[in-house]
Copies of this chain bind each other. A is one copy, B any other.
C-alpha cells in the first residue's frame, strides 16, 4: 500500500487511542489528521478492528501484535469479536451516561439506570479478570502484548473519567493494565493525558 496513510482521530475516543498508540509504537508512517468527533460528526472512522488487521497485513509489525500462529490468532480474534458487546459497549455506555450526557446535553442521571449500567460494566470487568486474565499468562493471549490487550485497556481507561476505578478489587486487571501501559509507553500516557486529567482524584492515576 502507498505511504499516504491518514489517521483521522480524536483521543477522546477509545478505539482511536488504541489505533494511535499502535501506529506510534510500531512506527508505521502516517499522516496525523486530528478531528473533534463531538463537532465533526460526519467523519467516518470506519471500523478500528478492521483497520488494525489491515495494517498488520500491510506493514511489518512484530508478530506478537497479531500472531501468525493460527491458534493464537484465533484467541486474539475471539477477544476482538467478544469485546464489541462487552468491554466496548459496557465501559462506553457507563462513561457516556455518567459523564458525557450530563455535560453535553444537560441530562440528569437517573440513579437506578446508573446502577444498572454500573452492574453491567462490573460483570464484564469481572469476566475479564476471571476468564481472560485468570489463566496466569501476562497478557490476554500468552506472554506478549497483542491488539486485544491494547484495545481492551483503552476501553477500560474510559470510565475513570466518570470517577469509576476499574482496577479496585481486581488484582489481575490491575497488574495487567500496568503491563499494557509499560509495553506501550510513552505513547500510552500521551494518548491518555486527557483521561488522567479529567478523572477525579479518587481514581488512582499516573503522575505525569
Contact = CB atoms under 8 A, between A and B. Distances in A.
Interface of A: 1, 46-51, 53-54, 57-58, 70-71, 73-74, 77-78, 80-82, 84-85, 89
Given A57-B70, A73-B57, A81 B50 contact: yes
Main secondary structure of the interface of A (DSSP, over half): helix
A152 B77 CA distance: 19
Contact of A78 (B50, B57, B73, B77): B50
B47 A82 contact: yes
A71 B1 CA distance: 9
Most B-side CB within 10 Å, residue of A70, A74, A89: A74
A132 to B, nearest CB: 13
Nearest to A77: B50
Contacts of A1: 70
30 contacts: A1-B70, A46-B78, A47-B77, A47-B78, A47-B81, A47-B82, A48-B81, A49-B77, A49-B81, A50-B74, A50-B77, A50-B78, A50-B80, A50-B81, A51-B74, A53-B74, A53-B77, A54-B70, A54-B71, A54-B73, A54-B74, A54-B77, A57-B70, A57-B73, A58-B70, A81-B84, A84-B84, A84-B85, A85-B85, A85-B89
Contacts of A48: 81
Nearest 9 pairs of A and B residues by beta carbon = A50-B77, A84-B84, A47-B81, A54-B74, A50-B78, A49-B81, A50-B81, A47-B78, A57-B70
Contacts of A71: 54
Nearest to A48: B81
Given A47-B77, A54-B70, 19 more contacts: A46-B78, A47-B81, A47-B82, A48-B81, A49-B77, A50-B77, A50-B78, A50-B80, A51-B74, A53-B74, A53-B77, A54-B71, A54-B73, A54-B74, A57-B70, A81-B84, A84-B84, A85-B85, A85-B89
